[in-house]
Amino acid sequence: MSTTNILLLCGGGGDEHAISLLSANYFETSLATLPQFNVLRVELDVNGHYRTAAGENCELTSRRQIRFDGDNRAPWEVDFAIPCIHGFPGETGDIQSYFELINLPYFGCKAEASRNCFNKITAKMWFSALNIPNTPYLFLNEMSNVSIEQATNALENWGSIFVKAASQGSSVGCYRIDNQEDVASTLAQAFTFSDYVIVEKTISARELEVAVYEIDDEIVATVPGEVICSSNNFYTFDEKYAANSQAQTQVVADISKEVSDLIRQYAINAFKGMKLRHLSRIDFFLTDDGEVLLNEINTFPGLTPISMFPKMLQNHGHSFPNYLLSNIKSSD
């Protein structure tokens, strides 16, 4: 049986570096059940340096090889890559652009789709262009008195707002504002994370998530799951990953079939319309009035022990190893 060399690239050096390592564990365990694959796990650090799990310095070359520093070993040929990196440079499209430049097949969404989803401003434009309802918003491109005035007016009109750094994941640089005196300082903080900031109307709603993925040439949208946050809180980075998080998750949300079907159709429309590939977690709000709003798309969702994506995939009747096998084989 011929074997395929798979580079499992993780880390990235950003705010979600540690979470990426946990997700890589899940990939590693799943791939270990597939004997046709040889897997080399390599961590990318904040300085752009590569290191194997054994601590060896190495690099990924334009010849699609892993070369080891100070070692006479032959380079390790890479047939396929899995960029298990949350946030920069994985979900931003940067690492995908390099893979495409050197013609290295890889798992996950392509570079352009990753960029479009990661930037909240670009994503909102796409949602509207695809006629998928989403939250009211405004864009800010600089920290200035004009921006403070615009955000203050939005707060007065909407009663409560969220200020979000445009190019961050896992709720990094995301803040709720209920008081006018907090506007200027919060905007300044958000602009430290991104050159652009989005201001959204605070929505009183349930938070629903759909796992959308490709398997055997079919696009699957699972029934929605639900994230239930602690009272008066939102799904912050700590709520998602901290050991003392009070957030709860339900793999199958308690909603009507009509609402479930509508959310799944919106999810499929977003996946197809934005040219996503292999996997995404697509998040929605369900308001108290029964309105469905698309919140955001995660093109490389977490695969930690508490993550929703693998649980929803499994609940739909698919095994993660078989799902990986299907997509890796389709790249041949």
State mean pLDDT over 197-209. Answer: 96
My answer on whether 34 and 56 are in the same domain is yes
Give the DSSP H or E segment for 102. Answer: none
pLDDT score, position 306: 84
Domain membership flag for residue 46: yes
Q: What is the DSSP letter of 225?
A: E
pLDDT tens readout for residues 46-79: 999 999 999 999 999 999 999 999 768 899 999 9
pLDDT tens readout for residues 286-302: 999 999 999 999 999 99
pLDDT tens readout for residues 182-195: 999 999 999 999 99
CATH of the domain at 186: 3.30.1490.20
Output the average pLDDT for the chain: 93
Q: Hey, which residues does 296 pair with through a beta bridge?
A: 283
Pair 290, 308: CB distance under 8 Å = no
My answer on whether 229 and 128 are in the same domain is yes
My answer on whether 59 and 141 are in the same domain is no
pLDDT score, position 246: 59
My answer on whether 240 and 121 are in the same domain is yes
317 pLDDT band (50/70/90 cuts)?
very high
My answer on whether 246 and 322 are in the same domain is yes
Domain membership flag for residue 24: yes
d(CA 166, CA 173): 9
Q: Is the dihedral of CA 110, 112, 115, 117 positive or negative?
A: negative
pLDDT score, position 244: 52
243 pLDDT band (50/70/90 cuts)?
low
pLDDT score, position 235: 45
Domain membership flag for residue 87: yes
163, 184, 201: which is the final residue of a domain?
201
Checking if the pLDDT of 303 tops 70, the result is yes
R_g of the chain computed on alpha carbons: 20
Question: Among the listed ranges 7-21, 177-191, 226-240, 253-267, which one has the minimum average pLDDT value?
Answer: 226-240
pLDDT score, position 65: 97
State mean pLDDT over 118-124. Answer: 95
Checking if the pLDDT of 237 tops 50, the result is no
164, 180, 201: which is the final residue of a domain?
201
Tokens 């890889």 belong to residue? 106
Based on the structure, what is the number of domains in the chain? 3
CATH of the domain at 253: 3.30.470.20
CATH of the domain at 31: 3.40.50.20
Other beta carbons less than 10 A from residue 236's beta carbon: 18
| C-alpha dist (Å) from residue 305 to 22, 34, 241 | 8, 21, 10
Strand pairing of 205-215 and 279-287? antiparallel
My answer on whether 122 and 237 are in the same domain is yes
My answer on whether 128 and 264 are in the same domain is yes
What pTM was estimated for this model as a whole? 0.90
Checking if the pLDDT of 161 tops 60, the result is yes
Task: Enter the tokens of residue 178.
Answer: 């209920």
My answer on whether 90 and 191 are in the same domain is no
201, 228, 247: which is the final residue of a domain?
201
pLDDT score, position 241: 46
My answer on whether 307 and 162 are in the same domain is no
Checking if the pLDDT of 142 tops 50, the result is yes
Helix (H, G, I), strand (E, B) or coil at 330: helix
My answer on whether 80 and 173 are in the same domain is no
Domain membership flag for residue 112: no
My answer on whether 127 and 143 are in the same domain is no
Domain membership flag for residue 168: yes
| pLDDT more than 90, % of the chain | 87
State mean pLDDT over 238-248. Answer: 56
Sequence-ordered list of residues with C-beta below 8 angstroms from that of 54, at least 6 positions apart, any chain: none
Other beta carbons less than 10 A from residue 74's beta carbon: 9
Q: Cα torsion at 207, 113, 162, 15 (round to 10°)?
A: 90
With CA atoms as reference, report the closest residue to 120 among 294, 309, 302, 265.
294
pLDDT score, position 305: 82
2 pLDDT band (50/70/90 cuts)?
confident
Domain membership flag for residue 35: yes
My answer on whether 210 and 325 are in the same domain is yes
Pair 291, 263: CB distance under 8 Å = no
- Structural domain that includes position 235: 117-132+204-330
Domain membership flag for residue 276: yes
